[in-house]
Structure 1
Amino acid sequence: MSGLCGYLAATDSGGVQHTLAGMASPLARFDDSPIRMVAAPRGGVAVAAAADSVSLHGAGGVLVAVWGRPLLNGCGENIAERFAALWLINGAKACAALSGPFAVCAMADAGGQLLLAIDRSGVHAMHYQQVSQGVLFASSAAALQAHPHAVSTLDPQSLYNYLYFHTVPAPRTVYRGQRRLQPGEYVQYRHGHLETGDYWKIEYQEQSAIPFGELKRQFLATLESSVRRSADGARTGAFLSGGTDSSTLAGMLAKVSGRAPPTYSIGFDVAGYDEMRYARIAARHFGTDHHELYVTAGDVAAAIPRIATASDQPFGNSSAVPAYYCANLARTDGVTRLLGGDGGDELFGGNERYADQAVLSRYEQLPSALRQVALEPLLFGLAGKLDLALLRKARSYVTQAVVPMPARLETYNLLHRYGPAAVLHADFLAGVDERAPGDQMSKCYWQNKGLSQINRMQTLDLRYTLADNDLRKVRLACELGGVDVAFPFLDDEMLAFSARLSPRDKLNGTQLRYFFKRALRGYLPTAILRKKKHGFGLPFGHWLQRDAGLQSLVLDSLSDLKKRHIIREDFIEHLMHGLLAEHPGYHGTMVWVLMMLEQWLAKSGVPAGK
């Protein structure tokens, strides 16, 4: 639960003045035993309070700290000391020898060198900022902000990106000039020069022709070993939503632990949101020690300020609330680590949009002459005024299909649908680049040009859906709840296995998780294999319409947000008194995003009206 922060200062004398301090991550105030590390004479390291998740080495003008639960060339012993030796020989390439969740910092007097890196999935974080005095770095924004030289000016573009993505994607942070490492990335500082690079990128083997039986054997063996590694050294339980991923992990945890593992589910008293039935099916099937909690609107109102205070930057995923109550429930049972199923959808083709985009992409395969000379003029010209159900569907299909990828994925993006000019104050909008989020996504999507659409979408989701959103959500919730978290589907061996699957193994026509479901047939209950994905969604918009306490919290937050000249006052009024009643689930998401922005700004000490 703790983190690292430090400062490397370049000096004219040729030496390096450095301080490496372990501070609790954004949740220091909730951590009873944070790490405290300080530089000791002649390169040694003094440790005031030790923890088993930090490996330290300091000798011969070299100081290394490795955070998390990594292995180095398959071994978990003396990580920092062995990495120091490897780094001095291979430079940043040494990061490829690390596996598992980690953040690493390595510093050397010679040349004033600094290396920072994080794991392949972005489970851990690393923030950095180059200043005139040198480089500041930290595993959390809160730790970085504690340094007197840190910049505390908010970045308008990052606030815009938050409203677009509901999070601030790396490499930006909410503070101007501060950056955050992306998965598989490193940053080096040598002789006053800062550079970033990739020590790892996923490499797909689309032409792989491994027989199903062998693939299934490899998958089950990899799954078992990843769950075993994830559960090692802790009293481990599992989130259990009743979906394929969480159910699979619960069953495998029962196998590797040899006991009935504790599992935790959250329910809601709103039709269409409660998935407890499936969680109970999985719990009975695998014989877990199952625990349930029904979250109420009052629970949500109580959690909102706490989540905003603990967040590094604005974060608009409302599923953090049920995940937090799950983690809190687990902690009261004495559980110290939870297994999360995050990553399964992305690695094995489980997101509904994969099938939707496959259907839309078929239009591109038609001859351009047929599309542009016959179909489109007919649908939008001669037949454009006919209000027939079949023609309406055809026009809607073509309207979406002609939008190029990956912009087509954002068809239902809230900021896009409302229109930035309708949502944002004119002065704020004038200072941002509206195209930046789309350009950032396009760059990521097309870096794997030539690959199948499903694998390009997977690459996009590994960054934006997982590293920047879902992993942040679950880690934040678990830190607040007082437990550790591990993600077996994001084990490095599992990432490599996913890359060996053919595109058809992930998406066969419109059949999601084609290989995954075949491989687990007979292992998972049939009802779970057939159910549609749901997860820990939050019926916030529905509760908001009927719970006075939640309404008061939201209205107070949005009233203060109006004074900041970021969001148009008339849009907030229209959202709250018009749109929300029309579609509580859809428009309630934007209410949550705006409320959490104001909550974060207020908790971070940014005065209203600034």
Structure 2
Amino acid sequence: MCGIVGIFDTTGVREIDRDLLSRMNETQFHRGPDEGGLHTEPGLGFGHRRLSIIDLASGQQPLFNEDHTVVVTYNGEIYNFPQLSDELKALGHQFRTHSDTEVIVHAWEEWGESCVERFRGMFAFAVWDRNRGTLFLARDRLGIKPLFYALLPDGRFIFGSELKSLRVHDTLPTTIDPAAVEEYFTFGYIPEPRTIFKQVYKLSPGFSLTLKRGAGLPEPKQYWDVAFKSHGLLSESSAGDELIARLEEAVKIRMMAEVPLGAFLSGGVDSSAIVGLMAGLSDQPVNTCSISFGDPKFNESQYAALVAKKFKTAHRVEQVDPDDFDLIDHLADLYDEPYADSSALPTFRVCELAKKEVTVVLSGDGGDENMAGYRRYRWHTYEERMRNLLPASLRQPLFGLLGKAYPKADWAPRVFRAKSTFESMARDTLQGYMHSVSILSNQMRSQLFSDSLKKDLQGYHAIEVFKRHAKQSPTDHPLSLVQYLDLKTYLVGDILTKVDRASMAHALEVRVPILDHHLVDWMSGLSPDMKLRGTEGKYLFKKALEPMLPHEILYRKKMGFAVPLASWFRGPLKEKVRNNLLSREMLDSGLFNQRYLETLVNHHQSGVRDYSASIWTLLMFHSFLKKMSA
């Protein structure tokens, strides 16, 4: 795994400032501490930081073709590179290394922009072809690897694996995008292609970008989307067998490495399945690691230990301090823009633990999105059935009134929190799902935002993110549609971003078998009732895993990497919360209503309401503002 940067002159062939390029590159030293490389020529500069995984002796980057007319800088792994290498050699291409990087160069020469359609893996790369005068950038289909870019006012185009590399350039516009603020306080992250800055973008998953001098900045081009194409009649037994066989093959090709390899093991269904399949494919004990929490409400370590014992893994577990909040300020350095998933804290720690023994780990990320494992899917499908029973003309005023009248009950189990259900029922499908995933509701954001921010937004609401993706969705089935939305937003903007930054902070490569695009496409075509049956999410996956995993692993209540925020903010972090949320940075930003900030803090700390998720989201925004002003 690596970090990449680049500078391209879209207007001519001005000299590239090599020192500037080097400084951009070195901001990502943590992504590739093994080696660094630069290439400059008139109008172009590429930088690369390398974490050596395959072909340790060669494979340094930037890497060229035979006559040095094509050069690539690349972050990722292409798992089918041996097959592609053989195909390209048969077509007459000469290889100097045994790395997957060189496959990109020759694949570009042979197939041009369509080369990306042949790559199986996770990647973000840039290719410069001097003969064609073309710069080509691409990002993998699911967004496992990041890629940021911007066109500067002077016509230079810059890109990098992390936003911090672009910020080194002193002419980068850093005006905060009001729409990004709206989206952040809705989702807890800023969905692709937007970033916190108006004129800086993320290349969306499954998209490429082709630039030529004098042509300006074109729109990115989509080369892949998940199909949700039905397999037709498929028995439960045969579907389960095929699911496990396909996952096993995806695991097998990701076990290729010339450095120590292991797996994250939380004791949940997905990570346990990955570890079980790895154990069956390996002659040596699988290296596994997990972290434990002192509080039993958040501790899954006993389940991880059960799986480790069953598969005889070389297991490491360390307990995390339940008050491990020293990392809070460090998160702004890792994520560069506001990011509010508090599980980033334990994720950072488990990556730190893994790096003590291995350089590559496999994870179980992606199972919930693809096989409907989140509890919110169950609630959404229930609400959709209810919506379909009543016409909107009756449903909206009725449930809207009930939602206003019913008291808020954060303390109660979900089934008794009728206020939220009533509010959701008054909305349409997209608005209802938005209501279920929002950190701050529409009403809360309206109270939080200053008048000037609301004026700048000009009526823009984050629901437009869902509307844009829903318009492109290949399915309108209630369950499949929200899975599609999560694949486009939550998976990439939250889950994969979290894992990429936390792992790369420790120079650790994380591979994600469940997000193999062949497997994702196949899973999307399964009947929705094979994913969610009654109240059981991941139904087919669990049934297919019954011969491999114990019942208490498959059918226990899902826990996740929760952090005790509510108690932190009323206890050891009480003063930090008050000082930061009512700080000069927050008030001078002109984005927030001071009286509502005070209300959130006072009501949470007095125990009137649980505003811990909202407060955490604001704390992370404060950390970003503080870093911006430093």
Per the shorter chain, which TM-score range?
0.7 to 0.9
Specify which of 64, 67, 73 is matched with residue 57 of structure 1: 64
Aligned to 2:147: 126
Could you say which residue in structure 1 is the equivalent of 2:201? 179
Give the match for residue 603 of structure 1.
627
Matches for 1:6-45 after TM superposition, within 5 Å: 6-11=6-11, 27-28=28-29, 32-39=33-40
How far the C-alpha of 1:317 sits from its partner, in A, is: 0.8
More displaced stretch, 345-354 vs 482-491: 482-491
**Match status 1:540 vs 2:565:** yes
Identify the residue that residue 145 of structure 1 maps to in structure 2: 167
2:511 counterpart (486, 500, 504) = 486
The reply on whether 1:170 has 2:186 as its aligned counterpart is: no
In structure 2, relative to structure 1, the CA distance for the partners of 1:82 and 1:336 (3 Å cut) is closer
Per mean C-alpha deviation after superposition, the further-off stretch among 160-169 and 425-434 is 425-434
- Partners of 1:189 and 1:195 within 8 A in 2: no
**Change in 2 beyond 3 A, CA 1:347/1:25:** farther
Q: Are 2:150 and 2:157, in contact at CA under 8 Å, matched by a contact in 1?
A: yes
Taking the aligned partners of 2:538 and 2:371, their CA distance within structure 1 comes to 5
The residue type equivalent to 1:524 in the other structure is L
SS at match of 2:254: helix
Mapping 1:298-309, distance limit 5 Å: 298-300=323-325, 302-309=326-333
Out of 247, 252, 266, the position equivalent to 2:277 is: 252
Q: Deviations over 1:215-245 (max 9, x none)?
A: 2332222222222222321322222222111
Distance 1:421 1:492, change over 3 A: closer
Structure 1's unaligned 5+ residue stretches are none
State the distance in 1 between where 2:48 and 2:28 align. Answer: 20
Structure 1, 96-105 or 68-77: larger mean CA deviation: 68-77
Q: Which residue in 1 is equivalent to 2:95?
A: none
Q: One-letter code of the match for 1:103?
A: A
Q: Aligned residues: percent identity?
A: 25
Pair 1:103-2:124 in alignment: yes
Please say if 1:403 is aligned against 2:427.
yes
Alpha-carbon separation, structure 1, partners of 2:233 and 2:360: 37
Q: CA deviation at 1:421?
A: 2.7
SS at match of 2:291: strand
**Cα-to-partner distance string for 1:260-315 (whole Å, 9 max, x where unaligned):** 32322233333532223322322222222333233225422x21122211222111
Q: Indicate the SS of the match to 1:350.
A: coil
Q: CA distance change for structure 1 residues 460 and 219 in 2, over 3 Å: closer, same or farther?
A: same
Contact 1:125 1:180 in 2 (8 A): yes
Which residue of structure 2 aligns with residue 226 of structure 1?
Answer: 250
Using a 3 Å threshold, how does the CA distance of structure 1 residues 500 and 145 change in structure 2: closer, same or farther?
same
The alpha-carbon distance between structure 1 residues 25 and 296, as it changes in their structure 2 partners (threshold 3 A), is farther
What is the letter of the counterpart of residue 337 of structure 1? V
Greater mean deviation of Cα atoms: 32-41 or 560-569: 32-41
Q: CA deviation at 1:98?
A: 1.2
- Partner in structure 2 of residue 4 of structure 1: 4
The 1:207/1:367 distance shift into structure 2, 3 A limit, reads: farther
Q: Do 1:448 and 1:456's aligned partners in 2 also have CA atoms closer than 8 Å?
A: yes
2: CA distance, partners of 1:107 / 1:3: 17
- Equivalent pairs, count: 593
Q: Kindly tell me: are residues 190 and 46 of structure 1, through their superposed partners in 2, closer, same or farther at Cα, counting changes over 3 Å?
A: closer
Is the 2:7–2:46 contact (alpha carbons within 8 Å) kept by the matching residues of 1?
A: no
> Which of the residues 500, 517, 525 maps onto 1:475?
500
Kindly provide the CA deviation profile for residues 440-495 of structure 1, in whole angstroms up to 9, marking residues without a partner as x. 11221232265322221121111211111101111211122342211111122321
Take 2:526 and 2:608, find their aligned partners in 1: how far apart are those partners? 39
Alignment partner of 1:501 is 2:526: yes
Name 1:66's counterpart in structure 2. 74
Q: Kindly tell me: are residues 394 and 123 of structure 1, through their superposed partners in 2, closer, same or farther at Cα, counting changes over 3 Å? A: closer
User: Residue in 2 aligned with 1:295?
Assistant: 320
Distance 1:385 1:104 in 2: 53
Q: What is the TM-score when the length of structure 2 is the normalising length?
A: 0.85
Query: Counterpart of 2:178 in structure 1: which amino acid?
Result: P
- Alignment deviations for residues 136-167 of structure 1 (CA, whole Å, 9 cap, x no partner): 22222112222344223332322232122111
Matches within 5 A, 1:416-431: 416=441, 418-431=443-456
Residue type at the aligned position of 2:189: T
SS in 2 for 1:291: strand
**2:367 counterpart residue number:** 344
Post-superposition shift, 1:51? 3.9
Bigger shift: 478-487 or 398-407? 398-407
Q: Which amino acid aligns with 2:298?
A: Y
Which has the larger displacement, 552-561 or 101-110? 552-561
Q: Given the alignment, which residue of 588, 593, 605 partners 1:568?
A: 593
C-alpha distance in 1, partners of 2:488/2:279? Answer: 31
Report the CA distance shift for 1:51/1:17 in structure 2 as closer, same or farther (over 3 A): farther
Quick one: which of 219, 242, 260 aligns to 1:195? 219
Return 71-80 or 463-472, whichever deviates more: 71-80
Q: Which residue of 1 aligns with 2:115?
A: 94
Partner secondary structure for residue 292 of structure 1: strand
AA aligned opposite 1:99 = R
Any idea what SS the aligned residue of 1:115 has? strand
For residues 256-267 of structure 1, the aligned pairs below 5 Å read: 256-267=281-292
1:407-458 deviation digits (Å, cap 9, x = unpaired): 1112242321652231122222221255331011122123226532222112
Residue of structure 2 equivalent to 1:161: 183
Taking structure 1 as the reference length, the TM-score comes to: 0.87
Q: What does residue range 547-566 of structure 1 map to in structure 2 within 5 Å? A: 547=572, 550-560=573-583, 561-566=586-591
Instruction: Tell me the alpha carbon deviations over residues 378-422 of structure 1, each in whole angstroms, 9 at most, x when there is no partner.
Output: 88999x9999x9x99888756533411221112242321652231
2:613 counterpart of 1:589:
yes
SS in 2 for 1:282: helix
For 1:366, the aligned partner's letter is: L
The CA deviation string for residues 61-92 of structure 1, in whole angstroms up to 9 with x for no partner, is: 33223321114664465545443444355442
What are the Cα deviations for residues 568-591 of structure 1, in whole angstroms up to 9, with x where unaligned? 22222222221344377x511111
Is the partner of 1:231 in helix, strand or coil? coil
Structure 2: 5+ residue stretches without partners: 86-97, 410-414
**Residue of structure 1 equivalent to 2:93:** none
Residue 6 of structure 2 contacts residue 46 of structure 2 at CA under 8 Å; is this kept in 1? no
